[in-house]
Structure 1
Amino acid sequence: MSEPYYITTAIHYPNGKPHIGHAYETIAADVMARFQRLRGREVRFQTGTDEHGLKMAQKARDLGQTPRELADEMSLAFKDLFDVLNISYDRFIRTTDADHHRASQAIWEAMEAKGDLYLDRYEGWYSVRDEAYYDEKELIEGDRGEKLSPQGTPVEWTEEESWFFRLSNYAEPLLELLRKPGFLEPTSRRNEMIAFVERGLQDLSVSRTSFDWGVKVPGADGHVMYVWVDALTNYITGLGYPDGGELWDTFWPADLHLIGKDIVRFHTIYWPAFLISADLPLPKKVFGHGFLLNRGVKESKSAGNVTDPMELAETFGVDALRYFLMAEVTFGQDGSYSAEALVTKVNAELANSFGNLAQRTLSMVAKNMDGKLEAFDSTGDDKALLAKVRDACAVTLPQEFEALNFSVGIEAWLRAVFACNQYVDEQAPWALKKTDPERMKAVLQTLLIAIRDLAVAIQPVVPEKAAAVLDQLGVPMEQRNFAALTDESWFMANVASGRQIEKPTPVFPRLELPEVEAA
């Protein structure tokens, strides 16, 4: 039995509707979760919403709502989006869930028992938008001379009684962890965090008294936990902490926390320190991906360029959106998207290349062989094609996906698609129909086997469309995984049963830009 696998996204802050960045991260995590399942691993996949903190309280007040009403409404918008995007999560966690409050208080008590929490007074700079404290030397100057956080967000001077976490005690274990190959990727983020720790760690303010929308600090009236203490704890809440049990025993520590590059500090400095303090095992890997830019520009409400991912999915299709985001952007770096780029890429690669390959092969089998599969003898050309396809689908793509190089894995897959199309042109089965019908059958059936491999391998990215291709080929569910790529028993079973391949329905229709986009 292969190793279990636990993957999480960052939980998303629902003070507004979900944007394309939320969709991007969650699709990437879903691709990884589906990929690991197809490798035979028992997978646990968790996403959700981070609903506490001053930012939520202020937004609710501005809208004339209670924080809970805003949280309920916006959390549902995220869940609805993820369901539309075909995200195969096992739990959608909310930090307002009762078991989460209990888990957050349990880790607090564990850190307190370690002697790592003490009461004092906080005076310093705080960014409501980032829900983060900043040291004076980290601040930058804005256009009007105002102080801003390193992210360019407004900061305000805050003074209040606060519990502090002895983060300064954890520099050495954190440096050891950060220097461990593979814990934090990409390398650029790792170097940033090592430099941050080496500059010296200050103790961290971990409670607030100026508002009450959060998890109550046990035994400290008027204090709620700093939102990041409670947000990070979600990863263990979802596995049954502090009670333990089967999920905890099976899946902790997490294999991968997949997050945006702007919250790497919280996940690779604060979170490991909290876990070490509470005597809990550390996650195996944190990956900080880049931002998705709209035509090269960061999205913002003021710029009026915020994209609704639900609209994109409805306009172009869920699998087309998933494919574009995973194939277009080098994962870990910033990437750019536009409706035009999406239509161009999806039409070229899915509709014209893979879709057309499947459509014309299945059509020729249905028309020229009455849809019946037969045993056949392979030539060197046939074997060479299948070797090329297998190498891409069973070796290169899995290696690259395992390393989170999604676009590189998809490129290898696409080269195999191109090889199949080249083979069609060279073998010319339409001509063989007249000159050598048996050879035509061998060519078409070689292509069917190649298309099966290609459809199996791309399932994590385009699950619905790949399933539609595999349905038309008559591949049973238990043979739609990576282990089955060298197994042709599905083909021989179809030969034996006399199952007929029907005239196919196109799986990847060409996309068009909406009129307004084309104008």
Structure 2
Amino acid sequence: MGDPYYITTAINYPNGPPHIGHAYEAIATDVIARFMRTQGRDVRFQTGTDEHGLKMAQAARAKGIEPRAFADEMSSLFRAMDERLNISYDRFIRTSEEAHHRASQAIWQAMADKGDLYLGRYEGWYSVRDEAYYDESELIAGEGDEKLSPQGTPVEWTVEESWFFKLSAYQQKLLDHYEAHPDFIRPESRRNEVVRFVEGGLSDLSVSRTSFDWGVKVPGSADHVMYVWLDALTNYITGLGYPDRTELWDRFWPADVHMIGKDVVRFHAVYWPAFLMSADVPLPRQVYGHGFLLSRGEKMSKSVGNVVDPMTLAEHFGVDQLRYFLMREVTFGQDGSYSAEAIVNRVNAELANSFGNLAQRTLSMIFKNLDGVIPAAGEADEDRQLLSRVDDAVAELTARFHDFAFSAGLEAWMGAVFACNAYVDTTAPWALKKTDPARMAEVLGTLVVAIRKLTSAVVPIIPESAGKLLETIDRGVANRLEQPVPVFPRLEMPAEEEGAAA
């Protein structure tokens, strides 16, 4: 069993169906989990839904159903998205689970035992949409006299009795941790934002509500429910059995990385480590705040009407094709943009025309001209040079993937694919068939070795397609190749997008 590796997505808030942003994070985290498995790590991968809070209660009321029924319905949509997108999670957690309520109450009690919780009265600005409190100095002007959160969401003045967490007491401890562990927050731009925020001073944090009851009950204060973020963040340890010292806990905590969107970095890089310090629980090794996925350069919103269902994209373009595009097109950590024509163009140029065509041509020639028997690789200089080029590209991809630089890793991989296609053009195995059949066999054998290495390297990105191709090759090596089937058919623009693309 390899070294343990624990990775999580941010826990999804299911007050609406999943959108492409949820899919992007799930796919990226899945790529890392699958990649780490190929590196021999013993991976634990957790995702799930964060089902409490005022926003969920309001959304349920608007539909005329109980919050639990609404949570059941919406959580099932996120699970269905994960299944459709081939997300290889080990645990799908729901914060409405009894085990999670127990874990949340246990961390609360640990913080209380430390003397870090006190009862007070909250008066201040609260965004229901963000489930977040904001200081007056953080607000921005809306239309007229309207005030908005830094995220541009509406805020309302809230007054209620509340338990408070002594976040202010952890300002220096947090800054010390950031300095001692420079990779705790990545990428660097997010780290700088968090350090500036904490250096600006931390106020104590309201961590309970009395204005609604859909949440985890506060121990000893039955009329209070926990602030949804304290409850939500605890999911990362609930899934390992906290507060019990389980085998999972001993093996996988602290987490290696929490993969999250940049809009929730503060909760994960300020509040969460402070809660854990208070509860005497070791801190995760890294919080990685990836960028937003924009639709034609614009942030998605229901009012603009550009929110995209990831299931629709998977249906139109294929799951592996969508996964490849998102990891190839966007520099991970930065914002990225997508459109139907960008997906079609990228997938056709690289997967269909370059890599897919390379594999199909090579295997078809072996099936047709060598009775399906895969020959050995050649020993000529050009053969060795090609395989060396492929090995270098795979090594580069591996190094880049360790750093979550997926697009750069795939750039190196595509360079080797192009080198293989150039080798085909130079050696011209179709001509060798007539002039030097033995050399043709060496060329085709060399290409199979190259294709197999390249295919193995991208299993984390395109697991289904790469798996089929590896199975075809390996079955051919053990026996004989059957008639090969193209793995990456060319994509066409969806009919409703053609007008928009023109």
TM-score by length of 2: 0.98
Equivalent residue number for residue 339 of structure 1: 340
Residue 182 of structure 2: aligned partner: 181
Residue aligned with 2:126, SS? strand
Q: Which residue of 2 aligns with 1:500?
A: 480
Name 1:120's counterpart in structure 2.
120
Question: Partner residue of 2:36?
Answer: 36
| Range 417-426 or range 368-377, more displaced | 368-377
Listed as ranges, the gaps of 5+ residues in structure 2 are: none
Q: Distance in 1 between matches of 2:331 and 2:443?
A: 35
SS at match of 2:6: strand
Q: 2:220 aligns to what? A: 219
- Distance in 2 between residues matched to 1:144 and 1:327, nearest whole Å: 43
Partners of 2:325 and 2:343 within 8 A in 1? yes
Contact residue 178 and residue 193 of structure 1 kept, 8 A: no
In 2, distance between residues paired with 1:391 and 1:4?
27
Which residue number corresponds to residue 209 of structure 1? 210
Q: How many residues are matched?
A: 498
Aligned to 2:386: 385
1:511 maps onto 2:491 in alignment:
yes
Residue aligning to 2:317: 316
Whole-angstrom distance in 2 between the partners of 1:375 and 1:402: 32
* Residue 430, structure 1, aligned to residue 410, structure 2: no
User: Residues 68-147 of structure 1 correspond to what in structure 2 (within 5 A)?
Assistant: 68-147=68-147
Whether the aligned pair in 1 keeps the contact of 2:33 and 2:43 (CA below 8 Å) is yes
Aligned ranges for residues 43-82 of structure 1 at < 5 Å?
43-82=43-82
- Aligned ranges 1:276-425 → 2 under 5 Å: 276-375=277-376, 377-393=378-394, 395-425=395-425
Query: Match for 1:218: what amino acid?
Result: P
Moved over 4 A (4+): none
Work out whether 1:440 is the aligned partner of 2:432.
Answer: no
| Distance (Å, rounded) in 1 between the aligned partners of 2:95 and 2:359 | 45
Cα distance in 2 for partners of 1:460, 1:426 equals: 31
Residue 382 of structure 2 aligns with an amino acid whose one-letter code is D
> Do the aligned residues in 2 keep the contact of 1:5 with 1:42 (CA within 8 Å)?
yes
Q: Deviations over 1:102-143 (max 9, x none)?
A: 000000000000000000111110000000000010011013
Question: Matched residue of 2:47: which SS?
Answer: strand
Whichever residue aligns with residue 219 of structure 2, its letter is P
CA contact (8 A) 2:375 2:444 kept: no
Paired-residue identity, %:
68
How has the CA–CA distance of structure 1 residues 14 and 377 changed in structure 2, closer, same or farther, with 3 Å as cutoff?
A: closer
**Which residue identity is paired with 1:295?**
R
The answer to whether the 8 A contact 1:178-1:268 is kept is no
> Counterparts of 1:254 and 1:340 in 2: how far apart (Å)?
38
For 2:106 and 2:465, the matched residues in 1 are separated by 44
User: Which position in structure 2 is the counterpart of 1:482?
Assistant: none
Superimposed CA distance per residue, residues 352-381 of structure 1 (whole angstroms, 9 cap, x where no aligned partner): 000000000000111111111344541111
Give the equivalent residue in structure 1 for 2:195: 194
In 2: Cα distance, 1:373 partner to 1:310 partner: 38
1:2 CA displacement: 3.3
> Which residue of 2 is the match for residue 457 of structure 1?
457
Q: How far has the Cα of 1:178 moved from its partner?
A: 2.0
SS in 1 for 2:223: coil
Give the drift of 1:450.
Answer: 0.3
CA contact (8 A) 1:19 1:306 kept: yes
- Native 8 Å contact 2:377 2:443 kept in 1: no
The two structures have a TM-score, normalised by structure 1, of 0.95
Q: Distance in 2 between matches of 1:377 and 1:404?
A: 35
CA distance in 1, matches of 2:295, 2:284: 32
Q: Deviations over 1:177-231 (max 9, x none)?
A: 2232211011111011101111111000000000000000001120000000000
Letter in 2 for 1:500: R
Q: Distance in 2 between matches of 1:125 and 1:408?
A: 42
8 Å CA contact 1:385, 1:419 repeated in 2: yes
Q: Name the CA distance, whole Å, in 2 between partners of 1:461 and 1:343.
A: 17
Shift of 1:420: 0.4
Deviation at 1:518, TM superposition (A): 1.4
Counterpart-to-counterpart distance in 1, 2:392 and 2:86:
28
Q: Contact 1:296/1:337 (CA < 8 Å) preserved in 2?
A: yes
Unaligned runs of 5+ in 1: 476-490
Separation in 2 of the partners of 1:175 and 1:4?
28
| Separation in 2, partners of 1:511, 1:287 | 33
Partner-residue secondary structure (3-state), 2:217: coil
Contact 2:356 2:486 in 1 (8 A): yes
Per-residue CA shift, 1:496-516, capped at 9, x if unaligned? x5x111220110000111222
Between the aligned partners of 2:250 and 2:235, the Cα distance in structure 1 is 16
Decide whether the 8 Å contact of 1:339 with 1:517 is kept in 2. yes
Q: How many Å apart are 1:145 and its aligned residue?
A: 3.0
The one-character-per-residue Cα deviations of 1:66-110 (angstroms, maximum 9, x if unpaired) are 111110100000100110000000011000011000000000000
Q: Residue 37 of structure 1 aligns to which amino acid in structure 2?
A: R
SS of corresponding position for 2:337: strand
* Residue pair 2:141, 2:148 contacting (<8 A) in 1 also: yes
Superposed CA deviations along residues 242-293 of structure 1, whole A, max 9, x for unmatched, are 0121100110000010000000000000000000111111000110000000
Shift of residue 37, structure 1, vs aligned partner: 0.5
Work out the CA distance in 1 between the residues paired with 2:457 and 2:246: 34
Name the amino acid aligned to 2:337. Answer: S
Query: Residue 4 in 1 paired to residue 13 in 2?
Result: no
The whole-number CA distance in structure 1 between the counterparts of 2:359 and 2:98 is 50
Per-residue deviation, residues 278-310 of structure 1 (Å, max 9, x unmatched): 111100011000000000111111101110100
* Mapped partners of 2:361, 2:438: distance in 1: 18
RMSD: 1.0
| Contact 1:85–1:318 (CA under 8 A) maintained in structure 2 | yes
